[in-house]
Chains A and B, each alone.
Chain A
């Protein structure tokens, strides 16, 4: 059986800069895959490319055997991909419930004629939307007010709402771009739990994360990126021992000679 998500030799360039340069990896349903790497390694660019926000120069992205390379983000979302953003991208002036309803747009259930005449179909689907929104907020463990604008919420709660919105999409593939950024220790615990819950729903979870504790604990597989391509791919333990990974993160001991991972030396400032 072929994996759910297959990224093959992906390349994205901004002018002369190749942000992603021949990235290949895959993710299976019911699996948590972490993508890690130093800043500027191309992780978010790769996400944006998988979800259609960037058009790749070459390479393919397939989901469940269907080619989704370079399609419009909305079309890709409709095939079963959902995501969160590195910097929260909520609908700030809308209520928490409305934000989660945002993930349910593709459920359909009513058209504008239903809305104009308030047909039974309209009432039924509106009630279903609301019930679902509550259900997903419960799912992510959200405890705050639900009828107030999200801009009034604390950061951690906004993260939860974004997660609920992404989950409401009911996608086969869930891409989380640094879901743990800015969360405190106990919130991170909850996040780990949530990732497992999402996986148990049968989705493939791919997350970008900088917190190695989180990565090593939650992922079944880790893909390490540097200079726009994967330099290691394996279980957390395998990756931890991989010399290329250690080099990328800690730098190389002072030896002359070109570096095989890519052009230029690895960034030393990264820890």
Chain B
């Protein structure tokens, strides 16, 4: 109690989490967890390999990719984006249109997808990122709708009926379009992308994103060009979303504007918030929950959305910082002491990594 009264800023109290790492939180921060998650994803088809399970699994994996992309924008940089699914639409339509028009394998469309996503990031981010918080959210909401309505009304995007017959993935002559191979393909791609977003978060650029999130003026005073940094977050988010769109288009082989409605943006955002903004691991957990929970509740018929909603509200009330929030902690040994404390938890990591099989 006395601790709380000292800290006047009680509204942000739930995020005050920073005691030195206990054994449990060390476990939660260990590097092996990522491998464990990857192993679970790889082993899943051995447990359940029906077409239905594979389809759900692939959708969930793609959803993880989207959530980790939105995490860059919302979690790291603190920019509330309510139209994130627009970038997925850009990626899906670009690869769909190009692969159909020139009968290209879908992987060959990726350079064009990247280009279009960067362009979309610039076009959407350019004007909107001068706005702050609430205004930004409303404008991104608008842009999300603009992209969907554009796709709904253009001839090249197939109008309301969308695009059919988008090819599956093949790699070095190997057909990966079957349910199980495609699932594995998605797992590998998404694992790499998730790792990438986590690494970005721990870099100079990732720190700059957090500085902007925490205090834009202070960041600016330290020479961080906040506009460029925010635009970079937007572009990376767009690329992650666009790749998600490619996987999505190839998975369903058909896309239409109905796939990119606001509800989808909201669900991705929910995954990020529920999982724990700014922490890749939390976001992955959040994405899995959001994409799989409705499936587990399928027996309940229409009631499942009610239960889904109640669960979400309950989580947000009981744990507003998300399942697994990012935790600001790092070993605090100054360089001189580090050498003496050779047995410390952080020093031998690099050598130990080589030793473990």
Contacts and interface: CB of A to CB of B under 8 A. Distances in A.
Interface in A134-163: 134, 137-138, 145-149, 151-152
A148 B20 contact: yes
A134 B335 contact: yes
Contacts of A126: 203
A129 B196 CA distance: 21
A89 B215 CA distance: 7
B97 to A, nearest CB: 28
A53 B217 contact: yes
A268 interface: no
Contacts of B331: 147
Contacts of A77: 220-223
A248 interface: no
Contact of B222 (A94, A103, A110, A134): A103
Contacts of B199: 115-116, 118
Contacts of B232: 112
B223 A51 contact: no
A145 B329 CA distance: 10
10 contacts: A74-B224, A75-B225, A89-B221, A90-B214, A90-B218, A91-B210, A92-B215, A115-B204, A116-B196, A146-B332
A219 interface: no
B74 to A, nearest CB: 15
B204 A110 contact: yes
B224 A148 contact: no
Given A91-B218, A92-B214, A97-B330, 15 more contacts: A51-B221, A74-B220, A74-B226, A77-B220, A77-B221, A91-B215, A92-B12, A92-B215, A94-B328, A101-B207, A105-B204, A125-B204, A147-B330, A149-B329, A152-B16
Interface stretch (A35-43, A78-86, A198-206, A225-233): A78-86
Interface size class, chain A: 35 or more
Interface of A: 51, 53, 72-75, 77-78, 82-83, 85, 89-98, 101-103, 105-106, 108-112, 114-116, 118, 122, 125-126, 129-131, 134, 137-138, 145-149, 151-152, 165, 169
A34 B232 CA distance: 39
Nearest to B346: A147
A89 B20 contact: no
A53 B226 CA distance: 13
B208 interface: yes
B330 A95 contact: yes
A213 B57 CA distance: 70
B218 A109 contact: no
A151 B335 contact: no
A151 B16 contact: yes
Scoring B204, B208, B219, B332 by chain A CB atoms within 10 A of each residue's CB, the highest score goes to: B204
Interface of B: 7, 9, 12, 15-20, 196, 199-200, 202-208, 210-211, 214-215, 217-226, 232, 236, 328-332, 334-335
A105 B334 CA distance: 20
Given A116-B199, A118-B199, A147-B330, A94 B16 contact: no
A179 B208 CA distance: 25
A130 B335 contact: yes
B222 A105 contact: yes
B115 to A, nearest CB: 17
Nearest to A112: B205
A77 B225 CA distance: 10
B217 A89 contact: yes
Q: Most chain-A Cβ atoms within 10 A of its Cβ — which of B19, B221, B225, B328?
A: B221
B335 A91 contact: no
A94 B332 contact: no
A168 to B, nearest CB: 8
A89 B232 CA distance: 24
A74 B329 CA distance: 28
Contact of B332 (A73, A90, A96, A103): A96
A118 B18 CA distance: 27
Interface centre among A97, A102, A108, A148 (most CB of B within 10 A): A102
Nearest to A77: B223
A25 B18 CA distance: 45
B222 A169 contact: yes
Nearest to B200: A115
A258 B20 CA distance: 63
A114 to B, nearest CB: 7
Given A118-B199, A152-B16, A102 B330 contact: no
Contacts of B215: 89-92
B221 A149 contact: no
Nearest to A52: B220
A109 B204 contact: yes
Contact of B15 (A83, A89, A93, A115): A93
> What 3 pairs between A and B have smallest CB-CB spacing?
A115-B203, A147-B332, A77-B223
B94 to A, nearest CB: 22
Contacts of A106: 222-223
* Highest count of chain B CB atoms <10 Å: which of A51, A78, A118, A134: A134
A95 B332 CA distance: 10
Contacts of A116: 196, 199-200
Nearest to A80: B223
B328 A148 contact: yes
A122 B335 contact: no
Contacts of A109: 204
Contact of A115 (B206, B222, B329, B332): B206
Given A89-B217, A91-B211, A152-B16, A105 B328 contact: no
B9 to A, nearest CB: 8
